[in-house]
Structure formats: C-alpha cells, structure tokens
Amino acid sequence: MKKLRLLAVLTSGTALSLGLALGPVTTAAHAATSMVKHGGVLHVVMPWVTIPDNFNPLNPGTNSATAGGTGSAIYEPLAYDNTYTGAFTPVLATGWRWGNGNKTLTVTTRHGVNWNDGKPFSAADVAFTFNYLKKNPTVDSFGDWKTPLVSVKATSPDTVVFRYQSPDTVVLPFVLSQLIVPKHIFSKVANPVTFTNLKPVGTGPFLLKSYNSTAVTYAKNMNYWMTGRPYINGITIQAVKSNDTAELLLLNGDAAYTYDAITDPNTTYVKAHPAWNKYWWPSISQNILYMNTQVAPFNDVNLRKAVAMSLNDSVIADRAYFGSVSPASGAQEAGVTAGQTSEWVPSSLSSLEWTYNPSGALSLLESHGYKLVNGSLVGPSGTTLPTYKILVGSGWTDFISIAQTMSQELLAIGIHTTIDQEPWSTYYGDAQGGTFDFLVCWSNGNNATPYYEYYYMLSSAEAVQAGTKNVNTNYERYTSPAIDSILSNFSATTTLSQQKADMVSIEKTVLTDVVAVPLTGRPNWFDYSTRFFTGWPSTSNPYNAGEAPDAFNGGAEQLYLNVHLK
C-alpha cells in the first residue's frame, strides 16, 4: 500500500514559523528547561524478537527491516504531522508556502543545523534526498515522484523549491514527512536498497552507541540543534519475544515505554501500579464494517442503513476494547475520526446520523418490501436471505469480538451470520477481491483532514488494480464521478472554506448512502510508566499522537525530546 499517512493542507500563502509550531517546546510543562531534571536512559521494549543490523532510513522495508530508532533518534523529517491534533511541528523545515497557482511549494530549511559528523546541513541535502528518491524509485516509499512533481531544487542554502506540473496541494505530506539524508554520505551509495548504513550520520537528537540483535542503544547528541534538548542522556530499545514479555517488563518498572494493545489495560496493567502505570490510546482512525455495495443485497441502501441501525457501537467498543476505545458514533458515522469531527463535520448534518434502533431498522426494511419470517429476513423477491460471513483476521481478538457482537445484534433484523477468520494473506486478498459479505477492517489514509480517508475509501482510483478485478483500498467498491470531482477540487486548492464545503458534500453522501459503517475508534497503542520519567504526551498535552518507538514520521522523536527524569 502506498502513502497512507498524510498531512493537512495549509491555506494559501501560509508559512509556519518555529515560534508558532513547536508546541512541545512552549507548553507549560516544559517552558523553562532549567526546571527540568536532565539525565537518565529511557528503556523502551518491543516484541520484535530481534533487531536488524540496518540503520538506513531509506530502507524500503522501513520499520520491519530497520533498527528501531533509525527514523526517530538519528534521522529527521522536514516536519512532524500530528494525526491526533492536525498540527505540524517544524523540524528541519521552519516554514513552507504554496505559490504559482499552487504549482510551486517553497520550503525554508533550518539554519545552523549540523550532521552528527560535523558537516553543515542545508537545503542542498533536502534537494539531494528527493532527487535521490527519483533516481532510486524503490526507496521512494511515500510515492513523491508518483505525484505531479517535476523538479526539486535548492535555490539558496536555506530554500528548496518543489515544482509541480499541476496543482496538487495534498502532496504536502509526501514532502514534509520524508526523512532527510546527508548528500555527502548517500551520494556515494550506488544501491540504497542493499546499503545497511552501519555508521549512521543524521541530524537527530541521538547518536548510535551500541548494537546487538536484541538491543540497540543511543547516546545524546551533545551538538543537537535544539538548545537544551534532549533532556535524557540516552535510549535503549530492547527486543523481546512477545507482547506478554514486554508488558511484564513495563509492569515491573524495568521498561518505561512500549506500543501494545494491552488486553483490558485498566485491570491487567494500570491496576497493578496505578500511580505510575499509564496508557494513552488516541484514536487516529476507525474500525469499519464494509459491505460490497456492488453485490445484492448490499447494493440496497435500505439494507445497509438497517444494518447500521441494528449495531450498538457502544457495546461493540466495550467488548472489544474493555472501555478503553470510544465507539464511532455521532458525527464519526460520516467516516471522520473523532479528533476531526468538530472542525470538519457541521451540526447541520446531525439529522442524517443513525442511532442504535433495531425496531426502527426492521420498520425501515419492512417499508421497502422485506419481511421478518420465523426470525429470518426475507427479501422483496420473497427469498430468505442466506447466512452471511463476517470476514476478520485470524487471531485478531478485537476484530473477533466485534464480529461476535455483530452476529448477535444482526439477529434482531433477521440476518444470520458466521465468523470467517482468515490469515493475513487471504484476509487482505479477499478484502481487495471483494469476496466477502461483511468485512471488519480499518480505515486508510488517517490524517488531519477527512480528505485522505475519503480518498482511500471512495476514490475510483482506489477501486481499480490494473489488470485485476481487485481494488486497492476502496473495499466497499462505492464510486461516484461527483465524489471524484470533489476530491480533485480539494487537492487543487488551499482555501480552507472551499475545502470544508467539499468535505461536507462527501460527508452528506457517506451518511445518506451508508457507504460504510464506522464501528469504533482505532488508536495508537501508547503504554508508558511514570515511575522514573515524566513529560509524556497525553490528552492535555498531545505533542505527538502516541506513535510507536520506531515510527518514521517524527512522532517518536518528539517523545524522546520531551520526556525527562522526575
């Protein structure tokens, strides 16, 4: 799957400055670095079994084939995109703006930054990185050169200009999220796919100190460009064999941070040491029930609406996540994640939202020719609907729980189901191939505006795989020329009022046609301990979105820059 982590689009002519966007630096908790206790080594634990001896930030395998910390401790992007708040944090860029009819993106790079070998960083490194991706498309993991991008040039030591053949402002995240590599190192690398980069040179807050197959240690970069940061002296990332082992180390105070969907976290984790065992699971996307809208009876909007009305999202969320993840109700039924609804879904659409109402669902069906006979739903043609399968991944306990609750609740409208657990290889193939009745899966393209989720859910471009009958991410196979046009209009403008109007048009369609049924939020699984360290992100100080410790988008780096000894 190509670029599924994207950023919001700035309004025309807008440029962010360091003082406006470095939220973590200016929060009350960290306003005065003299008040912060420096020192300590942060112990991170993850169920990876082993850690690859590879520190190449352009590795096409990204996280799974690269040592944890490569993209969060050593290398940096131009900016960090916070998918929870929708805010940008400038990193190697201090500002950016669109011009020339939204066909030119000018990025101002940070002055006074050095690579950790002492060589100066400049806009030339940024231009080199992007042109290197063009030369080596296998490592263009964000698909920057699959957009209308024509050229990338450094026009001064602190300015780089991206020129596009046509306006396409939604490519902004492709640019800002890219990790930047040093020209003086990578210009000598003929094949970035095989390059393991065992002596990494980055601009980040830490240096590689030691490596073995189960642990990698990073030491504080004493010459890091952000004055007074990081507060901690280092990071150790340990690989263990299972989630249970990682959780045990966290429980015992032998680790401070992991990324794991802990089962019933309040009972199994927090309760053991309430004073310091914590978790923060901010929802950045959704778990969704998809129906193949091209196949009967799911091509009937009345049946899809009845299915939506018969599902109690609160019960589904409680059973699947023990009350730790919110249901996708209200405005989220438009397919918009919780953090975006107040900004992007107007109250005028609330009358289109559905509520849990099984009797109302049955009445809706009966008014359109369906009948409930001996506990089974009979269609308008007089044929009893067959037993349908709910497709989930094998062993995915949250999805299995969701499916079990759905099976019980759908009986109220006479729909009988079984649960079909499949391994990843066939599960994802069936999702793309449309060989399912009901599919429990996730939304794609989670980001700071609804555009990205809508693009991957509804665009006709995502409903076709060349030479096959499969889709990319438009699992429900719902397409509309009007929606394609709206998505195109959105990507050509940076006028916020126009973008919001565009999104309202799509939201209305999603709610009216019940394109898909959002069930629960889908969070980042951020678990931590305050026994020895503080300064963690939270709902009250969401300076990152609770990313994993090996995240390549700059989120984990923000954490490493903000945590400190108690």
Q: Is residue 271's pLDDT more than 90? A: yes
What digits encode the pLDDT tens for the residues 311-322?
999 999 999 999
Mean pLDDT of 278-290: 95
Q: What is the pLDDT of residue 547?
A: 94
Q: What is the pLDDT of residue 87?
A: 83
Strands 277-280 and 257-259: unpaired
Residue 80 identity (one-letter amino acid): Y
Closest CA to 368 of 303, 291, 293: 303
Q: What is the pLDDT of residue 468?
A: 84
Helix/strand/coil for 31: coil
Q: What is the pLDDT of residue 489?
A: 96
Q: Which residue has the higher pLDDT, 328 or 253?
A: 328
Q: Is residue 294's pLDDT more than 80? A: yes
Mean pLDDT of 277-300: 95
What digits encode the pLDDT tens for the residues 375-418?
999 999 999 999 999 999 999 999 999 999 999 999 999 999 99
480-509 burial, b for 16+ CB within 10 Å, e for fewer?
beebeebbeebbbbbbbeebbebbbebbeb
Mean pLDDT of 460-489: 93
Backbone angles phi, psi at 503, to 5 degrees: -65, -35
Q: What is the pLDDT of residue 447?
A: 76
What is the pLDDT of the chain when averaged over all its residues?
Answer: 91
For the range 243-252, what are the long-range contacts, defined as Cβ-Cβ under 8 Å and sequence gap of 24 or more? 243/47, 245/45, 245/47, 246/45, 246/46, 246/47, 247/527, 249/45, 250/45, 250/277, 250/527, 250/528, 250/529, 251/277
Q: What is the pLDDT of residue 62?
A: 58
Could you tell me the pTM of the whole model? 0.89
Q: What is the pLDDT of residue 449?
A: 86
Please state at what angle helix 450-458 crosses helix 481-492, rounded to 10 degrees.
Answer: 140
Q: Is residue 204's pLDDT more than 50? A: yes
Give the lowest-confidence range in 104-108, 258-262, 301-305. Answer: 258-262
Does residue 282 have a cis peptide bond before it, meaning omega lies within 30 degrees of 0? no
Mean pLDDT of 315-331: 95
What digits encode the pLDDT tens for the residues 214-225?
999 999 999 999
What digits encode the pLDDT tens for the residues 113-122?
999 999 999 9
Q: What is the pLDDT of residue 174?
A: 84
Q: What is the pLDDT of residue 339?
A: 81
Mean pLDDT of 296-313: 98
- Measured between alpha carbons, how far is 451 from 449 in angstroms, rounded to an integer? 5
CA 206 to chain centre: 25
Q: What is the pLDDT of residue 85?
A: 82
Q: What is the pLDDT of residue 1?
A: 29
Closest CA to 445 of 464, 425, 462: 462
Residue with tokens 């044929």: 383
The answer to whether 367 and 399 are in contact (CB under 8 A) is no
Question: Which residues lie closer than 8 Å to 374 by C-beta, 6 or more apart?
Answer: none
The answer to whether 264 and 529 are in contact (CB under 8 A) is no
Q: Which residue has the higher pLDDT, 425 or 1?
A: 425
User: CB 446: neighbour CB atoms within 10 A?
Assistant: 24
Q: What is the pLDDT of residue 30?
A: 41
What digits encode the pLDDT tens for the residues 31-85?
445 689 999 999 999 999 999 999 999 987 655 689 999 999 999 999 998 888 8
Residue 543 identity (one-letter amino acid): Y
Of the pLDDT bands very low, low, confident and very high (cuts 50, 70, 90), residue 19 is very low
Q: Is residue 256's pLDDT more than 50? A: yes
Q: Is residue 14's pLDDT more than 80? A: no
What digits encode the pLDDT tens for the residues 87-99?
889 999 999 999 9
- Measured between alpha carbons, how far is 406 from 3 in angstroms, rounded to an integer? 31
Q: What is the dihedral of CA 405, 407, 411, 412, to 10 degrees?
A: 30
Q: What is the pLDDT of residue 33?
A: 57
Does residue 265 have a cis peptide bond before it, meaning omega lies within 30 degrees of 0? no
What digits encode the pLDDT tens for the residues 143-178?
999 999 999 999 999 999 999 999 999 999 889 999
The answer to whether 269 and 247 are in contact (CB under 8 A) is yes
% of the chain exceeding 90 in pLDDT: 86
Closest CA to 451 of 490, 495, 482: 490
Q: Which two tokens stand for residue 565?
A: 């000894």
